[in-house]
Homo-oligomer: A and B are copies of this chain.
Amino acid sequence: MKAITINQAWNGAEKCDQCPIRHLVLFADLQQEDFSQLHQPINDMDFRAGSALYQENESAQFVYTIRSGMVKLIRYLPNGSYRIVRLLQLGDLAGIEALNGSKYQHHAVILQHASVCRIPIEDIERLNFNSPHLYKQLTARWQKVQQDADIWLAELTVGNSKKRVASLLMYLANSTANQSFFLPSREDIGAILAITTETASRIIAEFKRLGYLKTEQQNAFINQAALEKINQ
């Protein structure tokens, strides 16, 4: 199996206006005439878990709208370990910091098999300069970046480990429309919560024993009420 598959490529309005998740994506507010500003094809691509969308400090040419799956944004630390600073899902925009000629600020790695739309930055900037219709959605994406960062800082890195794991499970459960959600590896849970892999494993195992968490393959289900009681 290849790490990357290009499903299709199209130009401008040809397909975007039929997009089933159009209301969730960056181009939600564009008018018919705006699409003529898009000069390069937009690719619909599939990535398997473990492959990378882009690397930190790589010069940036694209942003990526997540259509399905999950992407982690990571930063390596001086000691060789890494920290996950955000998780991206349906409707989020990966690489948004690269607008205006900046470089990517993270490694973006696929956590759960993902389907994404790859959009050329050059087209976004042209569009934004010539039309007022992109601004609102772009601002909404930036607001989400801040909101997610704040959740990380105020909920996921405060309190003891048990409380952090409980908060993460609820965050994951509530950020999908499904009953179940994707449970990251113990190492990734550690990198999200700034705890060790072993501690993450102990707590997940304990939650399973207590019936607060159930897993079938990679699908996880939680007992929300029980987890909410673990506060600090």
Contacts and interface: CB of A to CB of B under 8 A. Distances in A.
A163 to B, nearest CB: 10
Contacts of A146: 97, 105, 142, 145-146, 149
A76 to B, nearest CB: 9
A7 to B, nearest CB: 30
A157 interface: yes
Interface stretch (A15-23, A36-44, A128-136, A168-176): A128-136
A142 to B, nearest CB: 4
Contacts of A75: 150, 153-154
Interface residues of A, number: 35
Nearest to A192: B153
Per DSSP, chain A at the interface is helix
Interface string A138-163: 01101101110110111001100000
Nearest to A148: B149
B128 A129 contact: no
B85 A147 contact: no
Contacts of A143: 97, 99-100, 102
A96 to B, nearest CB: 8
Contacts of A128: 132, 135
A79 interface: yes
A130 B132 CA distance: 8
A145 B146 CA distance: 7
A78 B154 CA distance: 10
A106 B157 CA distance: 17
A140 B232 CA distance: 37
A194 interface: yes
8 contacts: A83-B153, A85-B149, A99-B143, A100-B139, A128-B135, A135-B135, A145-B146, A149-B152
Interface of A: 75, 77-79, 83, 85, 97, 99-100, 102, 105-106, 128-130, 132, 135-136, 139-140, 142-143, 145-147, 149-150, 152-154, 157-158, 194, 231-232
